[in-house]
């Protein structure tokens, strides 16, 4: 007598829980089939946040991601192509949490991504286990809530460009702009110092001595100003202003920020940190944005429930070999 065949899970009308499902990223993932432990933690994060989790994880081995290894126009275009899969803002029971592990990239695509998420989903939250630097910080400014892990960091928004002429590496536009600003201040100090000196030595009127003081300052600083490439300086200055304007525009819709507060935060992030890699952790983020009265605005960094904190701790050390763009989908 032939042995009776057991019905498959499909024939039973349900999925057999003993069958392990394989998942990949809806836009891109490396490896193609994501580790089961990683998938489990993403699903747990969805349960904790009560929202659909999308991912932009490309900080580890950047070469694995190719065109998705940083925030750029191709990455933005891919999210646009997938926007029909984003949670619909008309569905009040669904929202978007973006799990970010990113070194950054270009300001304009980051700004466009934030606008895309807000337009399609109504709002979105950003969850950062370890790092959302540079343009990824700009993207986070458009979020309704920012969740930073205990050891997570954001970064300054000073624009970067590749210096083909001298450094042959990425350098900060702020370096050159601040150098010129420092030189301008030096010229003013030189003129004032000479004016005071001549006044004390000669006793003549300021109107008489001012031309001599200005001539002295000009002669001292002229060799340095002559070395400035005006076109290059103008380009770097515009790049910084672009980042600042994008940041301000993303912050303004948030109910906690009026124009003066948004401007203070944006300016701080672009101009008031010494290096592009400066660490902005949760405590530092809450001090960003100095107003004219000396008070600090601070980014609205949300407190993290214990169950989310445990998940962020796990993600912190387990995404170096993973690149994921999009949401989990069955392979």
Is the predicted pLDDT of residue 3 greater than 50, yes or no?
Answer: no
Is the predicted pLDDT of residue 11 greater than 50, yes or no?
Answer: no
Secondary structure letter of residue 159 according to DSSP? -
d(CA 55, CA 99): 5
Is the predicted pLDDT of residue 308 greater than 50, yes or no?
Answer: yes
What's the pLDDT at 84?
Answer: 93
Q: What is the mean pLDDT of residues 239-254?
A: 91
Q: What is the CATH number of domain 23-155+279-330?
A: 3.90.226
Among the residue ranges 14-18, 125-129, 160-164, 218-222, the one predicted with the least confidence is 14-18
Is the predicted pLDDT of residue 161 greater than 60, yes or no?
Answer: no
Q: Retrieve residue 39's tokens.
A: 């998938």
The mean of the pLDDT values for the chain is: 84
Q: What is the mean pLDDT of residues 91-110?
A: 88
CA angle 38, 144, 306 (to 5 degrees): 45
pLDDT tens digits, one per residue of 280-301:
999 999 999 988 787 889 998 9
User: Which residues lie below 8 Å from residue 243, measured CB to CB, with a gap of 6+?
Assistant: 107, 138, 157, 158, 159, 269, 270
Q: Where do the CATH 3.90.226 domains begin and end in the chain?
A: 23-155+279-330
Task: Please choose, from the candidates 50, 53, 52, 70, the residue with its C-alpha nearest in 3D space to the C-alpha of residue 61.
Answer: 70
What's the whole-model pTM score? 0.78
Is the predicted pLDDT of residue 15 greater than 60, yes or no?
Answer: no
User: Which residues lie below 8 Å from residue 160, measured CB to CB, with a gap of 6+?
Assistant: 134, 170, 171, 172, 173, 276
What's the pLDDT at 41?
Answer: 97
Q: What is the mean pLDDT of residues 161-185?
A: 59
Is the predicted pLDDT of residue 219 greater than 50, yes or no?
Answer: yes
Is the predicted pLDDT of residue 173 greater than 80, yes or no?
Answer: no
Residue 323: strand, helix, or coil = strand
Is the predicted pLDDT of residue 226 greater than 60, yes or no?
Answer: yes
Is the predicted pLDDT of residue 262 greater than 90, yes or no?
Answer: yes
Between residues 16 and 81, which one has the greater pLDDT? 81
Q: What is the mean pLDDT of residues 156-168?
A: 63
Among the residue ranges 30-39, 132-141, 271-280, the one predicted with the least confidence is 271-280
What's the pLDDT at 57?
Answer: 95
Among the residue ranges 94-98, 131-135, 245-249, 323-327, the one predicted with the least confidence is 94-98
Over the Cα atoms of the chain, what is R_g?
26
What's the pLDDT at 183?
Answer: 63
Is the predicted pLDDT of residue 79 greater than 70, yes or no?
Answer: yes
Q: What is the mean pLDDT of residues 299-322?
A: 92
157 neighbors 104 (Cβ within 8 angstroms): no
Give yes or no for a cis peptide into 247 (omega within 30° of 0): no
pLDDT tens digits, one per residue of 174-215:
666 565 566 677 778 888 888 888 888 888 888 888 888 888
């Amino acid at each position: 007598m032939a042995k009776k065949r057991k019905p498959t899970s499909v024939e039973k009308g349900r999925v057999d829980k003993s069958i392990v499902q394989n998942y990949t990223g809806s836009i891109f993932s490396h490896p193609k089939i994501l580790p089961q432990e990683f998938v489990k933690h993403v699903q747990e994060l969805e349960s904790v946040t009560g929202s659909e989790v999308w991912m932009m994880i490309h900080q580890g081995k950047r070469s694995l991601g190719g065109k998705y290894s940083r925030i750029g126009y191709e990455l933005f275009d891919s999210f646009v192509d997938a926007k029909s899969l984003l949670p619909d803002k008309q569905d009040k029971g669904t929202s978007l949490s973006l799990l970010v592990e990113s070194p950054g990239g270009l300001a304009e695509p980051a700004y466009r991504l934030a606008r895309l998420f807000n337009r399609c989903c109504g709002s979105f939250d950003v969850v950062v286990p370890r790092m959302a630097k540079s343009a990824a910080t700009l993207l986070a400014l458009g979020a309704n809530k920012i969740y930073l892990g205990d050891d997570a960091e954001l970064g300054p928004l000073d624009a970067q460009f590749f210096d083909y002429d001298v450094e042959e590496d990425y350098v900060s536009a702020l370096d050159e702009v601040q150098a010129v600003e420092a030189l301008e201040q030096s010229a003013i100090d030189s003129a004032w110092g000479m004016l005071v000196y001549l006044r004390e030595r000669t006793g003549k009127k300021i109107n008489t001595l001012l031309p001599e003081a200005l001539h002295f300052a000009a002669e001292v600083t002229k060799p340095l100003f002559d070395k400035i490439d005006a076109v290059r300086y103008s380009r770097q200055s515009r790049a910084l202003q672009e980042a600042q304007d994008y940041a301000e525009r993303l912050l303004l819709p948030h109910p906690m920020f009026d124009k003066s507060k948004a401007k203070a935060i944006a300016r701080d992030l672009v101009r008031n940190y010494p290096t592009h890699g400066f660490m902005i952790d949760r405590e530092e983020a809450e001090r960003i944005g100095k107003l004219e009265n000396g008070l600090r605005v601070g980014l609205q960094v949300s407190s993290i429930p214990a169950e989310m904190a445990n998940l962020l701790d796990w993600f912190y050390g387990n995404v170096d070999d993973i690149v994921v763009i999009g949401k989990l989908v069955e392979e």
